[in-house]
Amino acid sequence: MTFLRKPRSRTAAFLPLSLLFLKILQPGHSHLYSNRYAGDKVIRLIPSTEEEANALKKMCHQLKVDLWQPSSIFHVSKGAVTDVHIPKNGSQVLLAFLQEANIQYKILIEDLQKTLEKASSLRTQRNRRYLSGYNYEVYHSLEEIQNWMHHLNKTHSGLIHVFSIGKSYEGRSLFVLKLGRRSRTYKRAVWIDCGIHAREWIGPAFCQWFVKEALLTYRSDPIMRKMLNHLYFYIMPVFNVDGYHFSWTSDRFWRKTRSRNSRFRCRGVDANRNWKVKWCDEGASMHPCDDTYCGPFPESEPEVKAVATFLRKHRKHIRAYLSFHAYAQMLLYPYSYKYATIPNFSCVESAAYKAVNALRSVYGVQYRYGPASSTLYVSSGSSMDWAYKNGIPYTFAFELRDTGHFGFLLPEMLIKPTCTETMLAVKNITIHLLKECP
């Protein structure tokens, strides 16, 4: 169960190095997450007609597959694809159906348990190479991230102030890190949240990276200095704290919050469908067992309510809302819930265009960008639309790397390149909103 950075045992420190290596390379008989993904597959579905898409939709509903992003919910028109995580007992049925119906598909992950264990055995080796200092190139548990925030609050009080905006369903504090040079004069602000969806671990890693870069380059980089002198950044590294914790301890692919439902045994609400903007309409589900469940009412989730309350209170000076998700390699802006052009479209569009160009300039990684509805899919009740509707003029959602090769299991080796390129995009958007546009 535990594959964190903790030493395996006290005696491990005294074992000969070679033995230690063997121990690390062969995780032995204990399986992560109780071996629950043994034999599960991740399959990319590529329907080419409406009939095929509809048949797949029905099939996937019956088999209760777990939809992975980038999920077009089977819109064929854009040539989009859908990745699904299918349990072992359903994969035979699905594969037989795909072959019978002659629908195109590709198996992305043959055995999810094996892939997961391989990824985490690599993690164990990497972690051991960094015993001193803070390692930003590994995924951190919730406890580690919260300790890190408290540490920075103590050691960097000139630029950082950490506070709580409320409590999660399970009673955990919802910490926000305020970053920027303190000033008596009026300052505009940028809100950044990561980890609305629990399994998207690259999100919190990016939030931490952003803070690290800010502290490291504040003195040497004129752009960063300008950002921190002229703006406050409110950064919430883990929005969905309960879900994130659960994704470490029990189900790596958990997405929702962890709230209970009075009538169903299924737990959790999609924290990105729970906002009061066209709530529970297209692209959201009313069924508590679905991954896009909108909740019993808007802001039913304490995490959503806490952030909405904070944003409402500070909306006058918050100029931008940035939300980090994975995976799809996209930079999205409103609307999510309808096909329509936002007012001041050209300002937002040009910010996005420049940001994806800046991102691509580092390693050549391509991001698609555009309104969420037409670029990804229609979804109602999202935080981005809500922030926009509540007067924040620049609202974006990033879907970070990759496009499905590793999916949610993006290796730690890719944290650094992913965050480095994303950093450039965020700086670009920030400078853009300081300089141009309203």
Ligand X SMILES: *[C@@H]1O[C@H](CO)[C@@H](O)[C@H](O)[C@H]1NC(C)=O
Residues annotated as part of the active site: 399
Q: Between residue 23 and residue 82, which ones bind ligand X under the rule CB under 6 A?
A: 63
Q: How far is the CB of 196 from Zn ion (least distance, A)?
A: 6
Closest CB to Zn ion among residues 141, 240: 240
Q: Rule CB under 5 A: say whether 273 interacts with Zn ion.
A: no
Closest CB to ligand X among residues 87, 381: 87
CA distance linking residue 82 with residue 85, whole number of Å = 10
Q: Rule CB under 5 A: say whether 252 interacts with Zn ion.
A: no
Q: How far is the CB of 393 from ligand X (least distance, A)?
A: 4
Q: Rule CB under 6 A: say whether 393 interacts with ligand X.
A: yes
- Which range in 68-76, 85-93, 371-379, 415-423 contacts ligand X by CB under 6 A? 85-93
- Select the residue whose beta carbon is closest to ligand X and give its number: 357
- Which range in 245-253, 319-327, 333-341, 373-381 contacts Zn ion by CB under 5 A? 319-327
How does 158-179 read in b/e, with b if 16+ C-beta sit within 10 Å? ebbbbeebbebbeebebbbbbb
Closest CB to Zn ion among residues 172, 197: 197
Closest CB to ligand X among residues 9, 350: 350
CA 192 to the chain's CA centroid? 12
Q: How far is the CB of 92 from ligand X (least distance, A)?
A: 8
- What residue type is 30 in one-letter code? S
Please give the DSSP secondary-structure letter assigned to residue 293. Answer: B
Do 312 and 390 contact (CB within 8 A), yes or no?
yes
| DSSP H stretches of helix in 156-299 | 202-217, 222-230, 241-249
User: By three-state DSSP, how is residue 397 classified?
Assistant: strand
Residue 193, classified by CB atoms within 10 Å of its CB into exposed (0-12), middle (13-18) or buried (19+), is buried
Q: Rule CB under 6 A: say whether 422 interacts with ligand X.
A: no
DSSP structure string for 202-239 = HHHHHHHHHHHHHHHHTTT-HHHHHHHHHEEEEEES-S
Closest CB to ligand X among residues 224, 378: 224
Backbone angles phi and psi of 343, in degrees to 5: -65, 155
Q: Between residue 169 and residue 208, which ones bind Zn ion under the rule CB under 5 A?
A: 197, 200
Do 283 and 306 contact (CB within 8 A), yes or no?
no
- Which range in 74-82, 250-258, 268-276, 350-358 contacts ligand X by CB under 6 A? 350-358
Given 354, 362, 406, 434, the residue binding ligand X (CB under 6 A): 354
Do 60 and 292 contact (CB within 8 A), yes or no?
no
What does 343 bind: Zn ion, ligand X, none (CB cut-off 5 to 8 Å by kind)?
ligand X
- Which range in 66-74, 86-94, 230-238, 315-323 contacts ligand X by CB under 6 A? 86-94
The token pair at 240 is 């969905």
Please give the DSSP secondary-structure letter assigned to residue 285. Answer: B
What does 197 bind: ligand X, Zn ion, none (CB cut-off 5 to 8 Å by kind)?
Zn ion
Given 47, 70, 87, 334, the residue binding ligand X (CB under 6 A): 87
What does 245 bind: Zn ion, ligand X, none (CB cut-off 5 to 8 Å by kind)?
none
CA distance linking residue 406 with residue 252, whole number of Å = 14
Closest CB to ligand X among residues 280, 372: 372
Q: Rule CB under 5 A: say whether 267 interacts with Zn ion.
A: no
Given 157, 309, 341, 346, the residue binding ligand X (CB under 6 A): 157
CA distance linking residue 211 with residue 432, whole number of Å = 20
Q: Rule CB under 6 A: say whether 383 interacts with ligand X.
A: no
How does 311-339 read in b/e, with b if 16+ C-beta sit within 10 Å? beeebeebbbbbbbbbbbbbbbbbbbbee
Q: Rule CB under 6 A: say whether 93 interacts with ligand X.
A: yes
Q: How far is the CB of 225 from ligand X (least distance, A)?
A: 12
Strand order in the sheet with 82-86: 66-68, 82-86, 41-46, 104-109
Q: How far is the CB of 287 from ligand X (least distance, A)?
A: 15
Q: How far is the CB of 391 from ligand X (least distance, A)?
A: 8
Closest CB to ligand X among residues 21, 345: 345
Q: Which residues bind ligand X (CB under 6 A)?
A: 63, 87, 89-90, 93, 150, 153, 157, 161-164, 223, 343-344, 354, 357-358, 393, 427-428, 431, 438
